[in-house]
Amino acid sequence: MKTRIDFMNMKQNREPITMLTAYDYPSAKQAEYAGVDMILVGDSLGMVVLGYDSTIPVTIYDMIHHTKAVKRGAKNTFVVTDMPFMSYHLSKDESLKNAARLMQEGGADAVKVEGADGVTDIIAALTYGGIPVVAHLGLTPQAVNVLGGYKVQGKNAEAARKLIEDAKKCQAAGAIALVLECVPRQIGEEITKQLTIPTIGIGAGCQTDGQVLVYHDLIGYGSGNVPKFVKQYAQVAVTIETAISHYISEVKKRSFPEEKHSFNMKEEELNGLYG
């Protein structure tokens, strides 16, 4: 399994780090089989697999539940689990307890937290406790109602300067990596240059140290529109819907199940039954 040291070396060697979300056993198995460098059990699971319209309803229990399934599918891949909404804001104690549960019960190798203001102390406390932390800046979906929507962050010089400062603070607090979501590519590149820890971008241009995408977006297994920063490498939903339609029509026509899908009783046993 790759660890924090490997990710640091990859940054130094300019070898891009690949990260993909996974939320269950089969997706984690596929991600590991394909060879991603790390898996994120993102709280995006609230929207992608639980059908909420934001990540806000996601609980620590949801994250533990899904992390356990992912780790069973990807035992040899570094798994980062999101700390969900309000699970790292109430107090240092609560934050430590919640993060410890993600590791001890879920099996996560690291946790991820959003934001810098008020959060860098938590990053330091978790790190002190032996819990590796990935920071997340730019568009931070748990704060969507504070930000006023899912919008590109750090577009003007002042906001960009704050982002760069926040990134440095997260690194100083002990973060092992930084996810940068939805920022101008120039800022993705600048922060990547200024930090010694790896940056992992999503909608942050191609000069970050790594990239992350949501599993369902990448394979086209979602519903509806995807953001501008997503590239869909397949349209799996179409394959699935076609398969289900065929199943329905074959059952309606009694052409499924066929002989080969059925169990047979021997002639003499049938005679015994009816004879």
The residues assigned a catalytic role are 181
Residue 207 CA to residue 198 CA, distance in Å, equals 11
Tell whether residue 10 is a contact of ligand KIV (CB under 6 A).
no
User: Binding to Na ion (CB under 5 A): which residues in 11-50?
Assistant: 42-43
Decide: is 21 part of the binding site for ligand KIV (CB under 6 A): yes
Q: Applying CB under 5 A, which part among 63-71, 81-89, 151-159, 237-245 lies near Na ion?
A: 81-89
Contact 167, 191 (CB under 8 A): yes
Q: Does 201 bind ligand KIV (CB under 6 A)?
A: no
43 is in an annotated binding site: yes
Tokens read off for 157: 């010089």
User: Which residue lies nearest Na ion, judged by its C-beta?
Assistant: 42
Contact 52, 46 (CB under 8 A): yes
Number of residues that bind ligand KIV (CB under 6 A): 11
Distance CA(85)–CA(89), nearest Å, equals 9
Verify binding: residue 166, ligand KIV, rule CB under 6 A. Answer: no
Say which entry of Na ion, ligand KIV, none residue 137 contacts (CB below 5 to 8 A, set by partner kind).
Answer: none
For 45, 95, 171, the CA distances from 180, given in Å and listed in that order, are: 18, 22, 13
Q: For residues 202 and 179, is the Cβ–Cβ distance under 8 A?
A: yes
Q: Which stretch binds ligand KIV (CB under 6 A): 42-50, 90-98, 189-197, 265-273?
A: 42-50
Residue 112 DSSP class: E
**How far apart are alpha carbons 43 and 45 in whole angstroms?**
5
Among 42, 132, 188, 201, which residue sits at the site for ligand KIV (rule: CB under 6 A)?
42
> Applying CB under 6 A, which residues contact ligand KIV?
21, 40, 42-44, 82, 179, 181, 202, 212, 214
> Applying CB under 5 A, which residues contact Na ion?
42-43, 82
